Amino acid sequence: MTLDYLEQILDLFLEQKRLSVQQTLSILKQGTGVFQQLKNVIDVDSGPNQQIIIVGDTHGQFYDVVNLIDMYGPPSENQIYLFNGDVVDRGSHGVENMLFLIGLKLVFPNYIHILRGNHESERCTQVYGFRFEVFDKYKDSVDSEEEVYHENEQIKENKSNIKIPFEKESDIKIDKECNDESQDKNVIDLMEIKTQDDDNVLLSQSNKDQNKVNAKQPYSEMKTGQLVYSAFLQLFNSLPIGAIVNKEIFVTHGGLFDRYGVTIDDIQKINRFCDPGQEGGENLMGQMMWADPSEFTSFHPSIRSYGCLFGEDVTDDFLINNNLKLVVRSHEQKKNGFQIHHSGKLITIFSAPSYCLDTNLGAVLLVTKDESQDETESQDEKEKQMNGET
């Protein structure tokens, strides 16, 4: 993925057009290859002059994500983005939202990170809209010769003036609004960019859905909508499920667990390459994706599919056992986009404004590194060297 290709993709999405099936599959394949190499819990660290921007649920609100990045600037040495799941479902542009974030990850691999939410799953996407969206946007006929534009000039003529300022000199503002009713159904094939795809990519297969295609079935024999949806599911299964920011903050989509004593090492051992709740054992991944904080102590049953309601004592136990200071989660809509819980040791961040036509605000969490922390770590290193430690 090149920056030029990503800028063209953004232009097309802002014009409410979409990529061809083959290009969509190429991006999903590249993204899956990157994510599946990562640990369950990744480390996200910033330097003294960097800030980390933690983004909560965005739920298919692609235009709000574009505005957000335009506001704070693209991923760079100055700002690192951490998206905390629920990129799809509910909103009308989950496809564009996820493909755009994957494109950013491929172009700026060290400056943007994407975690899994409970909606990045087969269970949720079959109910809350994303599966229908994929099948609607990738009908079986969309890659026919008659419906795909091949002319390079077509791309140039349709190119939008609205861009994310990837270069610092740019000062272009986002002023385009989403209009679902006027969505253009045209498909643009960016022939200027060469993509490569194997004809027999192995796609994930669910043993619960009899309509799932065989994982080894060639592209040409699969229904287009099912093909793209299966590729999205494979990518979802590869996403990390947590992050530790600056060695102090634990970030995960839903929350904590229905027992005390869970460690980061326990989480690292989870087999995350499945739907949350199907990983076996204690279903720790399912709990991380679905749990909610409670004002009561201990843990209690939840009305959600998995997870529990966990109290301040559970948060305290997790932070102490893992030498951390704060838990950041998303998963719940908040009127002002955020809420502080458990005596300031847990924060909910929700980043989808006007969610499902509501009047809520969206928020992000800006994390900067305390320079005194660097000085302390440097002093510790000097003492270790003086004592002959490595």
Catalytic residue numbers, as ranges: 119
CB 127 within 8 A of CB 305: no
Question: Residue 247's Cα: distance from chain center in Å?
Answer: 21
Say how many Å lie between the first and final Cα of the chain, rounded: 39
> Residue 135 and residue 16: Cα distance in Å, rounded?
16
Q: Rg of the chain's alpha carbons, rounded to an integer?
A: 21
Please list, in sequence order, all residues whose beta carbon lies within 8 angstroms of the beta carbon of residue 6, skipping any fewer than 6 positions away: 103, 104, 106, 107
> Residue 323 and residue 313: Cα distance in Å, rounded?
15
Q: Which of 220, 230, 313, 233 is nearest to 273 (CA)?
A: 233
CB 33 within 8 A of CB 120: no
For 281, phi then psi, to 5°, come to 65, -130
Q: What is the DSSP string of 330-387?
A: --S--TTSEEEEGGGTEEEEB--TTGGG------EEEEE--HHHHHHHHHHHHHHHHT
Please list, in sequence order, all residues whose beta carbon lies within 8 angstroms of the beta carbon of residue 114, skipping any fewer than 6 positions away: 35, 83, 85, 87, 101, 102, 105, 239, 240
Q: Tell me, what amino acid is at 376?
A: T
> Residue 76 and residue 69: Cα distance in Å, rounded?
11
CB 88 within 8 A of CB 97: yes
Please list, in sequence order, all residues whose beta carbon lies within 8 angstroms of the beta carbon of residue 344, skipping any fewer than 6 positions away: none
- How many C-alpha atoms does 363 have within 13 Å on its Cβ side? 21
